[in-house]
Copies of this chain bind each other. A is one copy, B any other.
């Protein structure tokens, strides 16, 4: 449904960029999961603006409050309402955008669809909507942790700079969240440069989930791949998703692409390679889930652009406001959250698939 993610673990977000508050309601979370605001805040802090010089300077603490569904530290099975009041709202920069459509943004399409919109800061189409996803994702992450499932993401490309090494321990040690410190340095330099040029950059985020048991995902319409695809392409600025070898699989032969099965020393069915990215027929194999997400360069650039206004008159605009020169470092937290939501949902649903009376 329009503003709801998931079928069993359902998250409905609400709120506008410059409205009084943002929020999410999580419905379907099982009872007796240990949750508190600090646990959620940890993930939110990785998404928030103003966290480093490569992000937007808007200063929002993004402080979460739990308004329902948790009692004495544990979920009760009731809907969990999460809220954060907007603090640093400056709509003055948007006054001149009331009637004009910013290129690359949803201004025109919302107006075409609804005939009325809150233009301030992008309103509902702002990436601030992802606050609710990350808050809810933290709860899904806690749910997955009860089964040992571990979800993490990192930047593998910014502009044309590509990471070539992988060291998980450094991801949170650098402003762009790369798993490669040398590449990170170059990426930061590239962002600094593009910022000076009043332009923007895109990039690629890779996300992994380790210790996913086999069996997650539903055949046909709700394959694990399909739900990851929906989840990732629902993130603002995402333009592509690939699973495992993805687009690179196209040029391979079947005999090279197939991952051979074997039984490891612990008696578990494994594959020699994991080119499939941890899923076959839409269902997890037990190997790590791996996906890559393409993020376009931020649409807000401080350069004059050609456009039109609501009266269908040509206009030239200079978009002001406070923007990220590159959203990739913050998108890492959103990609992780969406993967947590997909897996949390499928994890619960999988409880229903197999007979337990056998």
Enumerate A216-242 residues with CB–CB distance to B below 8 Å: 217-223, 225-234, 236, 238-242
A13 CB–B CB distance under 8 Å:
yes
Classify chain A: how many residues form its interface, as a range: 35 or more
CB distance from A212 to the nearest CB of B (A): 12
In Å, the complex CA distance between A20 and B16 comes to 23
Partner of A116, one of B16, B74, B202, B239: B74
A169 CB–B CB distance under 8 Å:
no
Q: Which residues of B contact A125 (CB under 8 A)?
A: 219, 281
Enumerate A240-264 residues with CB–CB distance to B below 8 Å: 240-247, 249-263
Q: Mark interface residues in A1-41 (1 if CB within 8 Å of B CB, else 0).
A: 11111011010111110011111010110111100000000
Partner of A241, one of B3, B240, B257: B240
- In the A-B complex, list the 4 residue pairs whose CB atoms are closest, starting with the nearest: A106-B281, A200-B254, A229-B229, A240-B242
If A78-B219, A269-B108, A283-B109 touch, does A2 touch B25 (CB 8 Å cutoff)? no
Closest B residue, CB atoms, query A5: B221
If A124-B78, A219-B124 touch, does A296 touch B230 (CB 8 Å cutoff)? no
Partner of A114, one of B22, B76, B200, B269: B76
Enumerate A45-92 residues with CB–CB distance to B below 8 Å: 65, 67-69, 71, 74-81, 83
